[in-house]
Structure 1
Amino acid sequence: MKSWLSIFLTSFTAFATAFASVSHAADSPEQPNILWITSEDNGPHLGCYGDQYADTPNLDRLASRGMIYLHAWSNAPVCAPARTTIISGLYPPCTGAEHMRSMTRLPDSMKMYPQYLREAGYYCTNNSKEDYNLQKPAGVWDESSGEAHWRNRKPGQPFFAIFNFTVSHESQLRKRPHTPVHDPAKVRVPAYHPDTPEVRRDWAQYYDKLTEMDQQCGRVLAELEKDGLADSTIIFYYGDHGSGMPRNKRWPYNSGLHVPMIVHVPPKFQRLAPREYETGGKSERLVSFVDLAPTVLSLAGVHPPDHLQGHAFMGSHQTDPPQYMFGFRGRMDERYDLVRSVTDGRYVYIR
């Protein structure tokens, strides 16, 4: 009798646990897919930002279906420390990774944000640049390579996918021979650059590369549509810092830190959209790279860890906007320039 009672109680407990688990899963909100498209070395020189010289139809179309941020900042004007900020959710001077090529290690108590997403059930892919300026622990990505793709996940599994395009990198701006597509005579030369044929040619080639980058973005967006995932995927596009032209990349001026950022939230996930979200709209909110890790966790339904220094601007844990954004420059390549900058979206103070 005792053995039969024991079997009954064990079976009942197992059934109740399974039922509770299924009920909890059914009650839990559906997790969105999340797609990040990033490009290298370009400021907001896009048609959707009012640049009439630019030819970026795919990103302009994404902006017309989503929203652009007018005050988006990289926290560092060069790739590696900027990526430190993104992957850790911390300002690099706090992690020992302020200087280019630092390769320091995060404390064991802290994780890179894809690790939290994987724990929440996401299939996380990176295609393909890392360059985090930190030692990368094991288990950050399910895939990180030129072949990484959401198509490699299990059926029905939510994904977080990054596609990073390098065609606009500064190394591409002065490669010759190059036949300009954009007319150098029509370039608007910034006041801080000399108006010479060489400068005009470099700027025209930069815009040519932005058009190529836009085409690459269009191919990824077309794959998302082809796979029937556009209605269940929140899309981000952003550049990693200012252009590869002088006084842009590596310099913590607005020209080095101001970046384009577009977000698109499909109707089924409007509950996760920014509070100010409007289709085809423009947000005045201050957003910088330190905000990306808490934001993507917030979208996935993960409470951002308390040690993260940014502010979630989307999702179930979004917060009020910050009053200021901060930038910095440490050692970059051969030079030490310990510079700090701060902006309220209108003025930039540099010291």
Structure 2
Amino acid sequence: MKTAICIFWTLCWLLWAPEARAQQDQRKNVLFFLVDDLRPNLGCYGDQWAQTPHIDRLAAQGMLFENAYCQQAVCSPSRTSMLSGLRPDETGVYDLRTHFRDGNPHVVTLPQAFKNQGYFTASVGKVFHNSKRTLDSVSWTLEVSPFSGNTYVLPKNRSENGGKRDATERADVPDIAYADGQIAEDAILLMEKAAATDTPFFLAVGFMKPHAPFCAPETYWKRYERTMFAVAQRDRPIGSPELAFHQWQELRGYADVPDEGEITPEQEQELIHGYYACISYVDAQIGKVMDRLEELGMANNTIIVLWGDHGYHLGEQALWCKSTNFELDVRVPLILSAPGMRSNGGSTDAMVESVDIYPTLSDLCGIQATTTLAGTSLRPLLDNPRVDWGHPAFSQFVRPYAAIHNSERATHMGYSVRVKGWRYTCWYDLETDLVVERELYRLNDNNLETRNVADKVSSRTVENRLAAWIEQYRKGRYKK
């Protein structure tokens, strides 16, 4: 009933909003898929196990970014940064509770910029962080189902307070039994209404999986043999400081995961199996929305973006979940399909950042950004993936871990810079403003940090160059 009422008022807006009707033209629509906790374990990124035919189809018609990085590897700071076009030190958001408008009330977000130019802007599912205090209603013409749907469907996992139960769940149910199936249905309904008008739309569709718990319909679990999964390279990088790690508190919050110590190889397999099942489940929902877009005849005038808010550890480097500056946590999938771009169907290894998405979509759609943005338009790469780019990618994270829940004051901030072949991280004591730990990694073929070579004579030239970049970034002097 709630969705039906929302759709009714949406149709009224589309038909009668004078500002939107006055600006009817051939501006491109934007269909933006945001996927929670998705690292680039996709067929189009070369993953040999992942069954992701619909995302692979999107990559085949657009541009795949091999080296895209978020600004902070946890949901709210990452999403806030991308949607505002600002870095965490500009938004002031490092945790899961702070709202960026507390310190930046006049920021114009990406969807808000489109809304101000006459677009119908809708948020379906998890787009900003999924809590009432971190939503941003001014950005949208309409928000649909930000909280609706079930985390669990099996009675043994359902609880009155909706809290964490098992870390995985497989149930013989239709797609719509879980939240992401309903999110896809709501997105399709909105597109159908928009197709009946001349008003351009910006539709953000936020899927909640593969965020833990790894819950998906049985059909997606059955696509994989559990025996194919195992933790790869589980050792910590040699010489890495304790500040770089956490105790995987997020995973330990589930009822069937021990509060301390290791988990069994069998449970490791189950968790990885569940993660892949959730990826395929979300892939199917993306396929439904893309198919309907084509059936409605709007594909040729719609830019499609797929973005993961941050990466994830699946037991590698003695870590589970996110919340570090390591490559597995900050590297994200990014695919952008814009009609008419010369390099559609290709890929680029240029270092790009989540903050680049806002200026890119504004550029492609002729939207004038009224906020000074931290990133730069990726349009040159969409025309020529081998263009001389030369930009590094920056990320950062706080310690202690509890600070991301705003339950303990942050004492340290790790600033990290990524360039071709290297990752460098400096950990600053926030009280003394001094560097207390340094990490320099020469990345191997699978992009995993294995040995910290900071302070080594053989890498001093590289370290000095990257340290200077971090200082510029930290003091707000780095500009693309």
TM bin (shorter chain):
0.7 to 0.9
Give runs of aligned pairs for residues 78-157 of structure 1, distance below 5 A. 78-105=74-101, 106-132=103-129, 139-146=138-145, 147=186, 149-153=190-194, 155-157=197-199
Return closer, same or farther for 1:171/1:244 CA change in 2, 3 Å cut-off. Answer: farther
CA contact (8 A) 1:48 1:60 kept: yes
Q: What amino acid sits opposite 2:421 in the alignment?
A: R
Return closer, same or farther for 1:52/1:129 CA change in 2, 3 Å cut-off. Answer: same
Query: What is the CA-CA distance between 1:51 and the residue it aligns to?
Result: 0.5
Partner Cα distance (2:369, 2:377) in 1? 8
Partner Cα distance (1:247, 1:135) in 2? 25
Return closer, same or farther for 1:306/1:115 CA change in 2, 3 Å cut-off. Answer: closer
Further displaced range: 159-168 or 240-249: 240-249
Partner Cα distance (2:79, 2:128) in 1? 7
CA contact (8 A) 1:298 1:304 kept: no
Consecutive unaligned residues in structure 2, runs of 5 or more: 1-22, 146-185, 236-261, 427-480
Query: What is the CA-CA distance between 1:104 and the residue it aligns to?
Result: 4.1
Partner Cα distance (2:371, 2:109) in 1? 14
The root-mean-square deviation of aligned C-alpha atoms, in Å, is: 3.1
Tell me what 1:327 maps to.
Answer: 395
Query: What is the CA-CA distance between 1:173 and the residue it aligns to?
Result: 6.3
Consecutive aligned runs of 4 or more in structure 1 exceeding 6 Å deviation: 173-176
Query: What is the CA-CA distance between 1:199 and the residue it aligns to?
Result: 1.3
Is 1:207 paired with 2:276?
yes
Cα deviations across residues 38-83 of structure 1 (Å, max 9, x unaligned)? 2111110000111111110111111112221000111111110001
Q: What amino acid sits opposite 1:343 in the alignment?
A: R
CA contact (8 A) 2:108 2:370 kept: no
CA contact (8 A) 2:363 2:379 kept: yes
Return closer, same or farther for 1:287/1:189 CA change in 2, 3 Å cut-off. Answer: same
Is 1:57 paired with 2:53?
yes
Partner Cα distance (1:307, 1:85) in 2? 13
Is 1:41 paired with 2:116?
no
CA contact (8 A) 2:31 2:304 kept: yes
Cα deviations across residues 222-245 of structure 1 (Å, max 9, x unaligned)? 110111111111111121111363
Tell me what 1:192 maps to.
Answer: 234
Return closer, same or farther for 1:250/1:281 CA change in 2, 3 Å cut-off. Answer: same
Query: What is the CA-CA distance between 1:107 and the residue it aligns to?
Result: 3.2
How many residues align structurally? 316
Query: What is the CA-CA distance between 1:196 and the residue it aligns to?
Result: 2.1
Is 1:257 paired with 2:330?
yes
Give runs of aligned pairs for residues 139-288 of structure 1, distance below 5 A. 139-146=138-145, 147=186, 149-153=190-194, 155-172=197-214, 181-187=223-229, 189-192=231-234, 196-243=265-312, 245=314, 246-266=319-339, 270=340, 273=341, 277-288=342-353
Tell me what 2:413 maps to.
Answer: 338
Tell me what 1:73 maps to.
Answer: 69
Cα deviations across residues 88-114 of structure 1 (Å, max 9, x unaligned)? 111122222123311242534431222
CA contact (8 A) 2:108 2:371 kept: no
Tell me what 1:8 maps to.
Answer: none
Tell me what 1:298 maps to.
Answer: 363
Partner Cα distance (1:332, 1:190) in 2? 27
Q: What amino acid sits opposite 1:101 in the alignment?
A: R
Return closer, same or farther for 1:247/1:137 CA change in 2, 3 Å cut-off. Answer: closer
CA contact (8 A) 1:236 1:263 kept: yes
CA contact (8 A) 1:43 1:255 kept: yes
Query: What is the CA-CA distance between 1:320 and the residue it aligns to?
Result: 7.4
Secondary structure at the residue paired with 2:138? coil
Q: Provide the TM-score with structure 1 as the length reference.
A: 0.80
CA contact (8 A) 1:313 1:321 kept: no
Partner Cα distance (1:307, 1:87) in 2? 13
Q: What amino acid sits opposite 2:58 in the alignment?
A: L
Query: What is the CA-CA distance between 1:192 and the residue it aligns to?
Result: 2.2
CA contact (8 A) 2:35 2:307 kept: yes
Query: What is the CA-CA distance between 1:182 and the residue it aligns to?
Result: 1.7
Further displaced range: 336-345 or 280-289: 336-345
Further displaced range: 191-200 or 285-294: 191-200
Secondary structure at the residue paired with 2:351? strand
Partner Cα distance (2:107, 2:142) in 1? 21
Return closer, same or farther for 1:62/1:137 CA change in 2, 3 Å cut-off. Answer: closer
Secondary structure at the residue paired with 1:111? coil
Q: Provide the TM-score with structure 2 as the length reference.
A: 0.60
Percent identity of equivalent pairs: 27
Partner Cα distance (2:390, 2:72) in 1? 18
Query: What is the CA-CA distance between 1:136 and the residue it aligns to?
Result: 5.6
Structure with the bigger RCO (C-alpha within 8 Å, sep 6+) is 1
CA contact (8 A) 1:329 1:338 kept: yes
Partner Cα distance (1:58, 1:66) in 2? 13
Partner Cα distance (1:58, 1:138) in 2? 31
Query: What is the CA-CA distance between 1:179 and the residue it aligns to?
Result: 5.8
